[in-house]
Amino acid sequence: MQTQNPFFDEMAKLTQAAMGLAQAAGEEAKSALRAQADRVAAEFDLVRREDLDALRAEVAALRAEVEALRGQAAPAAKPRAKRS
């Protein structure tokens, strides 16, 4: 048969409260660090990775389009032979 010991009961409650406090402090520190990093990124005018990848894909598509247009324009740019 198990008996209730008030000392161990209070120690368990205290430990649980301390763990909750430590977890909340960790989350708060993480949030503050993320906010500071965002401020630094904004100050240095940095771009997010997703935006950079999207821009690279757009540039690649535009380069392909320019090459296709150059291929179409090349035959039209050849000088025609003069008729005598």
Task: Categorize the per-residue pLDDT at 61 as very low, low, confident or very high, splitting at 50, 70 and 90.
Answer: very high
- What number of other Cβ atoms are within 10 A of residue 37's Cβ? 10
Specify whether 71 is located in the same domain as 58: yes
Q: Residue 2 domain-assigned?
A: no
Structure confidence at residue 45 (pLDDT): 82
Residue 78 DSSP one-character state: S
pTM over 0.85: no
Structure confidence at residue 58 (pLDDT): 98
d(Cα 67, Cα 57) in Å, to the nearest integer?
16
Higher-confidence position of 82 and 39:
39
Domain that holds residue 41: 14-46
State how many domains the chain has: 2
Q: Residue 4 domain-assigned?
A: no
Q: Residue 34 domain-assigned?
A: yes
CA-to-CA separations, 73 to 66, 68, 69, 77, in angstroms, rounded = 10, 9, 6, 6
Q: Residue 22 domain-assigned?
A: yes
CA–CA–CA angle 2, 21, 5 (5° rounding) = 15
Structure confidence at residue 46 (pLDDT): 81
